């Protein structure tokens, strides 16, 4: 997909990693950037690939997964709009361990590694922001490991829904959330089968905590009273739903007009 230099610079200016940087630095990054429109089921990079750059999710959702030799898969992260990925891989100077694949149609901003390195040479703040992004991901991974070790399946689902509710910024009472990733992907991310996820949703519904209708999950007042969420940053699986009726954000997140494209290999 062709995007003009001026449009790329505008997009970069609204992304936390590059916001407020000098026009010269943003220009270096823009010259190494491209917008990718990808259909569901497209692999962005696979385990064993060499890192080529970093990516910012403009719209849609992706999964990060690792595979076993016998073909088993473990989903370790769901990537949502406004999240960046590939940062740690870029600086590891080693083959990627995980595979990133789209689970819905996706629009990404891809920034080639040389553009990032040139920007870091010109502006040390870029390096600090990259380190901050890696630290946030490390903290997210540690929280996820703790949840896998110590939380029951029901507690994982409750925590997930509470995080989504917190990100929606709702007050007390009922709130309707719409799942934007397939339920089987969500189940894999939380570490159990789709049947287990359906059973937990049913048990929470029977307890008067939630109401589920297709992709819409309504948190009832009993849920809000017992699991009142505090605002949290966007992490992991959280963010893979939206509050029903919530307007879209910046212009580059409203990507419905983009046509499906193919990956363009960097030199």
Contact 55, 108 (CB under 8 A): yes
Condensed to tens digits (0 to 9), the pLDDT of residues 202-261 reads 999 999 999 999 889 999 989 988 876 555 444 444 556 655 544 434 434 333 333 333
Sign of torsion, CA 148 64 214 175? positive
Residue 232: partners with Cβ closer than 8 Å, 6 or more residues away: 163, 166, 167, 238
Domain ranges within the chain, ordered by starting residue: 5-147, 152-243
Condensed to tens digits (0 to 9), the pLDDT of residues 3-17 reads 788 889 999 988 989
Condensed to tens digits (0 to 9), the pLDDT of residues 123-164 reads 999 999 999 999 988 898 888 888 888 889 999 999 889 888
Condensed to tens digits (0 to 9), the pLDDT of residues 28-82 reads 999 999 999 999 999 999 999 999 999 999 999 999 999 988 888 899 999 999 9
Return the CATH superfamily for domain 5-147.
Answer: Jelly Rolls (2.60.120.10)
Give bridge partners of residue 110 from the DSSP assignment: 34, 55
Contact 79, 63 (CB under 8 A): yes
Class of domain 152-243: mainly alpha
């Amino acid at each position: 997909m062709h995007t003009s230099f001026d449009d790329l610079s505008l997009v970069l200016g609204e992304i936390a990693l590059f916001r407020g940087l000098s026009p010269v630095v943003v220009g270096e990054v823009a010259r190494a950037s491209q917008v990718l429109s990808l259909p569901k089921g497209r692999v962005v990079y696979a385990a064993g690939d060499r890192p080529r750059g970093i990516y910012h999710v403009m719209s849609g959702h992706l999964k990060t997964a690792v595979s076993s030799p016998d073909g088993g898969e473990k989903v370790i992260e769901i990537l949502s709009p406004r999240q960046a990925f590939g940062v740690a891989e870029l600086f590891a100077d080693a083959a990627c361990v995980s595979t990133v694949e789209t689970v819905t149609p996706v629009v990404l901003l891809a920034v080639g590694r040389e553009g990032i390195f040139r920007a870091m040479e010109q502006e040390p703040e870029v390096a600090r922001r990259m380190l901050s992004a890696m630290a946030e991901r490390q903290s997210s991974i540690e929280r996820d490991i703790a949840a896998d070790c110590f939380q029951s399946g029901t507690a994982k689902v409750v925590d997930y829904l509470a995080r989504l509710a917190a990100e929606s910024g709702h007050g007390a009472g009922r709130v309707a959330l719409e799942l934007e990733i397939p339920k089987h992907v969500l189940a894999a991310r939380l570490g159990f089968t789709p049947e287990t996820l359906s059973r937990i949703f049913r048990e929470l519904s029977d307890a008067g905590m939630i109401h589920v209708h297709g992709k819409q999950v309504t948190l009832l007042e009993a849920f809000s009273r017992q699991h009142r969420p505090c605002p949290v940053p966007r992490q992991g699986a959280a963010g893979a739903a939206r509050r029903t009726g919530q307007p879209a954000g910046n212009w580059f997140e409203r990507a419905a007009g983009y046509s499906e494209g193919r990956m363009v290999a960097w030199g």
